[in-house]
Structure 1
């Protein structure tokens, strides 16, 4: 928090019986001092966040917004993958979502190799990103990012 903001807080709250230094410390510990101050002053407004965005080649649906971290949680439908270690002599093409665990070997097996397998083609995935990234994806979805 800047010295100017600290002075504003002291001036605004200095008229009541409150530990100003304690209040400033609490505001600074929230993780987002600007939001904390706006909430105390009654001026906080959640940003308008569009319901859809385009993130990492997926059309995504807004879930929630965390004002303290400035992150958006969202869902999208896409493939679900798992990774396992298998013997290097096993052909990965022979693995299926139903049998792949049968071929799993320990991480410390000297004959291992890492493989990724799609276990479900259309699974609902949950992710999060910054509000800035979400809004850039909105521009991409609306054709404004080029």
Structure 2
């Protein structure tokens, strides 16, 4: 039995205990590696954050452009709607003029009535031609926009 104890003692002596200082060095090395990897991950995340921030800014500017375009489209639509309304008025005025001319041809008016009617018709014709020119200019502007 003595030999068994002696061998056990030798085995215990051969196994060297790890000094505490080397364990703390291993922990420091491990924590340093962990800190470095965390720092890299933080850098990657912050880079992704900046990229997302730039994308959001780009999208916000697109939204602003779309809002401005929508407002412009609404303004153009209102102008076009006004132009259509004026065109309808012009058409009704032309119909009135055609009726007046027909009545004048039929001779239902006296000479003084014809003169007054002719003066009124010329005034309306001038207004119609001016309004037509204005409408053409508005439509051209709308087409360009």
More strand by share: 1
Larger Rg: 2
More helix by share: 2
**What TM-score do you get using the length of structure 2 for normalisation?**
0.21
